[in-house]
């Protein structure tokens, strides 16, 4: 479930959170009341672990892998993480 504003209870959109992630954790402004939210530190760690750790874990599990299998894993795992990550990110009032 997407996080919501603690003041007006308006939900953040997937687009807002994704844009924040791709712009180096840029703060999000609530579309309803304008309050500013920053990414929590633990959410930054979670994002890093999901994006980099999942590729690393795939390589450990499938040790004798070919380059094509690795590229396929990157093309599947990274987009899946990017789709799910905005639902896992948490923000706090700035």
Rg (CA), the chain: 16
- What is the C-alpha separation between 37 and 35, in angstroms, rounded? 7
- Collapse the DSSP code of 64 into the 3-class scheme (helix H, G, I; strand E, B; otherwise coil) and give the result: coil
Continuous segment of H or E residues that includes residue 39: strand 36-39
pLDDT tens for each residue of the chain, 94 residues long: 889 999 999 999 999 999 998 899 999 999 999 999 999 999 999 998 888 888 787 777 776 767 777 787 778 888 888 899 999 999 999 8
Q: What is the pTM of this model?
A: 0.77
Write out the two tokens for 16: 């807002």
pLDDT of residue 66: 73
């Amino acid at each position: 479930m997407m996080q919501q504003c603690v003041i007006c209870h308006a939900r953040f959109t997937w687009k807002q959170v994704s844009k924040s992630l791709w712009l180096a954790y840029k703060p999000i402004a609530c579309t309803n009341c304008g309050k500013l939210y920053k990414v929590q530190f633990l959410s930054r760690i979670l994002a890093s672990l999901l994006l980099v750790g999942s590729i690393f874990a795939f390589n450990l599990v499938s040790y004798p892998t070919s380059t094509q299998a690795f590229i396929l894993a990157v093309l599947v795992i990274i987009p899946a993480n990017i789709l799910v990550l905005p639902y896992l990110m948490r923000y706090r009032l700035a």
